[in-house]
Structure 1
């Protein structure tokens, strides 16, 4: 599915969150939206499936304006996995995933819905906990369930809002590897918001870096994520290291003065530790 933003603007009261966004996602596979807190990443994501509507500009899905599509029509093309929430209803895993079939309720039979959900639970390795309640699960298990619900919509595009934010490193890798597999073997397009630059460089085909409500830069992460970009967008001095597989980022300090001060303090600590014989 081709998603296109044309001069999109969105404001909360007098505060402009998105400012003249022009973006063509084309046929990129796994896309990460990056940037500091409050720059409009989640708002950009929410505009794609009409959770919110921009005050100016248009968003097109395969040439059709999102504003002219009803919610069920959008949901048959675009799945959405929100951020982790605490107010989760007391439903079983099976029931939560079945909710993803709602946009197709008038187009498919109950048996067909159950078959689709059963296949997704099997694919996601969730069969053993299908009858457990969602609020009994770990954060990693819940995230997999919500992704399964998005997949039950049978979408062409899956949107995820910070899918790894509350997970430990093992579950972060599991989620990102699963998403990469869905792109490579399931022919799914994925757009996700992330704060993790290194995970994005490892798995994404394209990154969109935002600053002050605008697109600062976009493209192949290996080309667009540089020391200068990180300093300009995040105000952080860093090293961009290159390995045999993927580049990765080593943050150093938020300012040169801070780096110098930190190294000076570290030197004093180490000097004191060595001199005391510990």
Structure 2
């Protein structure tokens, strides 16, 4: 059985060589979570994750530091070290991080820093401009997990940043019914800027439905693929830490592939865009 994933069947879609899962995490229940941690999952290892890769057909992946451990990136970095040729990392730091620490993470394969404001703790938006300037010198990006309302609140600040921006989880575009039109409008405004990317990950966090076919999100995703094929990447969000009932990753992958109109665009989102954004060979 694939750990932290429903079902056992492979996806219907055959993925291209070097397909990349751009959003996954590792956890260790023996490690103390930060006091503010909202999500404290059981142990989920790289060995567990490799079983999902074998099932889905991905070969590259991006390790994202979870809010569970705050700015202690050691578990993520240890997993990155053994996967260095086929993996990249996104760390969590605050404004006390030293230049030497950033350089060491850069050498280890870190290519960005994350601000999780949905499960806040280690970072705040007051740190955004200063940290963006510092990591821009390393060629890194800023990754943000924002609520629907925060997409609206911070859109102008993100447009003004002097660094590439990556938005998590479809920008939670349909999460709040009463503001979804405004979120969609600001998402398109951000994407048109040319320095904002979007992760097509965790559709269950951005739809009114709890499982495929996600009719609201399918329509929006199709429009995004049509308008911004060079600014989209895909991810599983394994081990689905927010979900008590784990989704079927093969079904989620097939749902995503059905949204994409042709093989060339699928290859772009799964291979070319991650290579450009994360610096894979």
Give the TM-score range, shorter chain.
Answer: 0.3 to 0.5
Question: Structure 1 or 2: larger strand share?
Answer: 1
Q: Which has the larger radius of gyration?
A: 1
TM-score normalised per structure 1: 0.39
